[in-house]
Every structure is written in C-alpha cells, then in structure tokens.
Amino acid sequence: DVQLQESGPGLVKPSQTVSLTCTVTGISITTGNYRWSWIRQFPGNKLEWIGYIYYSGTITYNPSLTSRTTITRDTSKNQFFLEMNSLTAEDTATYYCAREGGWSYYFDYWGQGTTLTVSS
C-alpha cells in the first residue's frame, strides 16, 4: 500500500530556512507518470499547492513561491524534500506531501502532515 510520511523540525525562527522530508513507501518515486507534491494548509484551513517533482525529476513550482522554494529528492531513500527560505509567520501551516495520480492532476495519497510554526 502506498504511504507517505512527512517529517520536519516543528518550530523555526523568522528569516530561517526549513527543510521538510517526505518518505514514501509502497511505490518508488521514480515509477512512471506520478508527481510528488507538497501542499500546505494554513490555520483557518486554506489549502495551497506548493509544487511537485515528477517521476523523471522535472520540478514545477507555484509561481507565488518559486523564489524561495526548492524541491529535491533522494531516489536511493525514496524520499523527496521541501526547502523554503526567508520564512515568516505567514508560512505557519501544516505541510503535506501527496501523490498526484496521473493526467488529471488529483491527489490520491496524502501523508498525515507535519506542522511548521514560524515564531521567534
């Protein structure tokens, strides 16, 4: 069964950089035609798509975040990562990783989420 698990530091200070990890089991992240996304949910529940890394390694970002967001992967560990810099309190959210299930661009598997709080 496909499972995703996020991990991260929980609390970071403003202006710092955070790195989050998504560990995938049950399928290789290099399996064809899947995209592996990061999505965040703000307090108040608004959902925002951050970006994805395609099975081939191609990356696409939400243009509103592209200047301070980097998505990478480690295929040997079947993990992908989100790095975000210049953090502010507005980046406080629950961060999910999710699998995009094919050409219709829907998210069929989600992790349980990791909460990130940006505060001094």
Partner 1 sequence: EIVLTQSPTTMAASPGEKITITCSASSSISSNYLHWYQQKPGFSPKLLIYRTSNLASGVPARFSGSGSGTSYSLTIGTMEAEDVATYYCQQGSSIIFTFGSGTKLEIK
Residue 58 structure tokens: 């191609």
What is the amino acid identity at position 118?
V
Give 12 or 38: the residue with its C-beta nearer to partner 1: 38
DSSP letters spanning 90-108:
GG-EEEEEEEE-STT--EE
Give the integer Cα–Cα distance in Å for 120 and 15: 10
Residue window 61-80: x/- pattern of binding to partner 1, with contact defined by CB under 8 A: -xxx----------------
Residue window 77-96: x/- pattern of binding to partner 1, with contact defined by CB under 8 A: -------------------x
Give me the residues that bind partner 1 (CB under 8 A), please. 37, 45-49, 60, 62-64, 96, 100-101, 104-108, 110-113
